[in-house]
């Protein structure tokens, strides 16, 4: 009998939850291949026995409407698709067992971290796997951290800080799952260290055939490369060994304000060329002048003692503005790297942020065209293109720090930087709002085609309609290789159907 039914998953609280779900008929016992439906406890109690029983699990499979509805959309609130069942795994083996079960019945599968993409990436009509239930930090040390895929980066930050350590690359918002960002890329303002997928020693992965494998750069490298930035197409990350470095005690954050795009780019390139900063990004804001937008330059350096605090006259020397024009603030390191989390928490309470529509736009641009592209795009945008709770950002990324083949970046233009340009749009009120969605999707498509003409590529977290030709162009010379690895590791095309990459 399923261990979930035996209520042996551990802990009196969880046992009560399982028993309550059984009483409601929510827990799944198996699958009826003739009717193509899941069989729940209530149905089995009524005498239904012609079904394929689930494997013995440490976790639970549910089919109640509330659980399925909770994973039927993502942060974008644009696409909705309710799965037929939801797995909350109690172990990595649960994931492997259920993938094998779904393979037998040709049921599509999507792993879901925090559901923080915005265009249905983690949705499936089949089985949704909520990775948040795999949330153990197994070890932390100078050689790295071994973590389950459902662990949040924020939780790892707090735990590692106790040992004076930190992940070397962090997204601005850190309440994201480690498995989730490793499946996409993980762009950071820590521009000199590449992206998060560059700092992984090994992974435990469940392939589309339901095989649990450990892989690294030296062992099963084809699988390792296929899942780091591979958008979940070739395997489900269930555990990872990620890098850690020494954390500074404090961060000094410098700010300068610009109203001229060329001036901003000139100073930014000067700062990047010196390679003296730890963090850098630009935040855009509306203002009633030419172009309609200003920019706040954010440059940060970590330090350990007051005597080591960086001096603005040194850090910001020889720029178009005097160093005295800059403001700065000193922030404890952990508070610095988690500061955006507090902004989002405020938005959730004040603006019902989780219910807002978010048609985000995200592209990677080569240095040779980024300045011109942004100069052309900014005057076409209004404050409504961003929204009260939205952001418009630009992050530099050192090209030489990117080695993973399926994290698609612009072709080499002879410079060492590319730029992530984000319009993190949010609606003013909770949806639905079909007219707003249609308008923003049209905008995103027009801006993307302009970016692609400028040598840009898509950073695939945003809301953008893509067809087969778009995906082939996105992967370029790597498209054939990506398709081969998909066929090798997910031969029945079960995994991550939300993006429709291999629908053709």
Distance CA 328, CA 335 (A): 15
CATH code that applies to domain 250-459: 3.40.462.10
What pLDDT score does 8 carry? 38
What pLDDT score does 44 carry? 67
Distance CA 423, CA 76 (A): 13
446-503 residue pLDDT tens: 999 999 999 999 999 999 999 999 999 999 999 999 999 999 999 999 999 999 999 8
Q: Is the pLDDT of residue 21 over 90?
A: no
What phi and psi values does residue 178 have, to the nearest 5 degrees?
-65, -45
Q: What burial class does residue 288 get, using C-beta atoms within 10 Å of its C-beta: 0-12 exposed, 13-18 middle, 19+ buried?
A: exposed
Rounded average pLDDT over 227-249: 98
220-229 residue pLDDT tens: 999 999 999 9
DSSP 191: G
Q: Do 3-133 and 250-459 share a fold?
A: no
Burial state string for 428-448 with b = 16 or more CB within 10 A and e = fewer than 16 = eeebebeebbeebbebbbebb
What pLDDT score does 504 carry? 62
| Secondary structure (H, E, C), 300-349 | EEEECCHHHCCCHHHHCCCCCCCHHHCEEEEEEHHHHHCHHHHHHHHHHH
302-335 residue pLDDT tens: 999 999 999 999 999 999 999 999 999 999 999 9
pTM of the model: 0.92
Distance CA 312, CA 319 (A): 11
In the chain, what are the domain boundaries? 3-133, 137-246+480-490, 250-459
Q: Which of 13-27, 33-47, 257-271 has the highest mean pLDDT?
A: 257-271
Q: Is the pLDDT of residue 378 over 80?
A: yes
110-159 residue pLDDT tens: 999 999 999 999 999 999 999 999 999 999 999 999 999 999 999 999 99
Distance CA 26, CA 28 (A): 6
CATH code that applies to domain 137-246+480-490: 3.30.465.10
What pLDDT score does 75 carry? 96
DSSP 133: G
Q: Is residue 160 a contact partner of residue 140, using CB atoms and an 8 Å limit?
A: yes
Structure confidence at residue 25 as a pLDDT band (50, 70, 90)? low
Nearest to 364 by CA among 245, 462, 440: 462
DSSP 375-413: HHHGGG--GGGT-TT-EEEEEEEEGGG---TTS--PPP-
Rounded average pLDDT over 34-62: 82
Q: How is domain 3-133 classified at the architecture level of CATH?
A: 2-Layer Sandwich (3.30)
DSSP 77: -
């Amino acid at each position: 009998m399923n261990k979930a039914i035996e209520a042996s998953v551990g802990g009196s609280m969880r046992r009560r939850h399982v028993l309550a779900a059984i009483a409601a008929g929510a827990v799944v016992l198996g699958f009826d291949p003739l009717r193509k439906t899941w069989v729940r406890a209530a149905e089995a109690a009524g005498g239904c026995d012609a079904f394929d029983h689930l494997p013995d699990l440490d976790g639970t499979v549910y089919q109640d409407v509330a659980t399925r509805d909770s994973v039927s959309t993502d942060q974008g609130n644009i696409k909705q698709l309710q799965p037929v069942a939801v797995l909350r795994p109690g172990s990595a083996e649960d994931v492997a067992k259920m993938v094998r079960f779904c393979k037998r019945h040709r049921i599509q599968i999507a792993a879901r971290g925090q559901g923080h993409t915005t265009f249905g990436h983690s949705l499936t009509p089949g089985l949704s796997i909520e990775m948040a239930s795999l949330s153990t930090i197994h070890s932390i040390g100078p050689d790295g951290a071994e973590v389950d895929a459902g662990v949040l980066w924020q939780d790892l930050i707090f735990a590692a800080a106790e040992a004076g350590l930190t992940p070397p690359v962090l997204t601005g918002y850190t309440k994201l799952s480690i498995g989730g960002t490793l499946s996409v890329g993980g762009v950071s303002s820590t521009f000199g260290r590449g992206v998060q997928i560059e700092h992984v020693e090994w992974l435990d992965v469940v392939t589309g055939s339901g095989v649990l494998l450990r892989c690294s750069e030296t062992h099963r490298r084809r699988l390792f490369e296929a899942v780091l930035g591979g958008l979940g197409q070739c395997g489900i990350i269930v555990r990872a060994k990620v890098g850690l470095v020494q954390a500074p005690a404090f961060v000094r954050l410098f700010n300068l304000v610009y109203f001229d795009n060329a001036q901003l780019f000139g100073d930014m390139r000067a700062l990047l060329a010196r390679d003296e900063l730890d963090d850098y990004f630009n935040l855009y804001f509306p203002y009633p002048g030419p172009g309609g937008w200003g920019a706040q330059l954010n440059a940060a350096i970590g330090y350990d003692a007051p005597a080591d605090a960086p001096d603005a006259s040194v850090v910001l020397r020889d720029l178009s503005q005097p160093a005295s024009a800059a403001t700065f603030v000193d922030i404890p390191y952990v508070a610095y790297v988690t500061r955006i989390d507090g902004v989002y928490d405020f938005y959730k309470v004040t603006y019902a942020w989780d219910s807002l529509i978010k048609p985000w736009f995200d592209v990677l641009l080569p240095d040779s065209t980024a300045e011109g592209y942004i100069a052309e795009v900014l005057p076409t945008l209004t404050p409504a293109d961003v929204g009260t709770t939205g952001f418009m950002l630009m992050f530099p990324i050192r090209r030489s720090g990117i080695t993973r083949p399926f994290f698609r970046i612009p072709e080499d233009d002879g410079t060492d930087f590319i730029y992530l340009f984000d319009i993190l749009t949010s609606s003013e009120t909770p949806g639905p709002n079909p007219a707003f969605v249609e308008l923003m999707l049209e905008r995103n498509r027009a801006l993307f085609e302009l970016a692609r003409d400028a040598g840009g590529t898509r950073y695939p977290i945003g809301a953008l309609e893509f067809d087969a030709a778009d995906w082939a162009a996105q992967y370029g010379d790597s498209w054939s290789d990506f398709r081969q690895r998909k066929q090798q590791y997910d031969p029945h095309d079960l995994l991550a159907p939300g993006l429709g990459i291999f629908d053709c």
